[in-house]
Amino acid sequence: MKKFSFHLESVLQHRRLREDTEHQKLAKIHLAIQQAHELKKSINTMASDHRRMLAQQASGRINIDYIRHLTLYLEKLDRDLIQVSHLLSRLEEDKRLQLEKLKEAKKQTDIMEKLKNKSLNRYEKEAKAMEQKLLDELSVTQYGQDEKQNLPTRKSDS
Render pLDDT for 98-145 as a digit per residue (tens, 0 to 9): 999 999 999 999 999 999 999 999 999 999 999 999 988 888 887 767
* 124 CB-near residues (< 8 Å, 6+ apart): 4
Residue-averaged pLDDT of the chain: 90
d(CA 65, CA 147): 118
Query: How deeply is 84 buried, as exposed, middle or buried, from its count of CB atoms within 10 A (0-12, 13-18, 19+)?
Result: buried
d(CA 13, CA 6): 11
3 domain residue, yes or no: no
Which residues in the chain belong to E strands, given as ranges? none
**DSSP symbol at 156:** P
Nearest to 102 by CA among 22, 18, 13: 22
More confident residue, 58 or 67: 67
115 domain residue, yes or no: no
157 domain residue, yes or no: no
Residue 157 pLDDT more than 60? no
102 domain residue, yes or no: yes
Residue percentage of the chain with pLDDT more than 70: 88
3-state class of 153 per DSSP?
Answer: coil
Q: What is the mean pLDDT of residues 22-43?
A: 97
More confident residue, 152 or 136: 136
Quote the Cα angle for 39-44-47, to 5°: 125
119 domain residue, yes or no: no
Quote the number of domains for the chain. 1
Q: What is the mean pLDDT of residues 68-87?
A: 95
HSE, CB side, 13 Å, CA atoms: give it for residue 114.
Answer: 6
150 domain residue, yes or no: no
Domain that holds residue 87: 9-110
CB 49 within 8 A of CB 77: no
69 domain residue, yes or no: yes
155 domain residue, yes or no: no
**DSSP symbol at 7:** T
Residue 95 pLDDT more than 80? yes
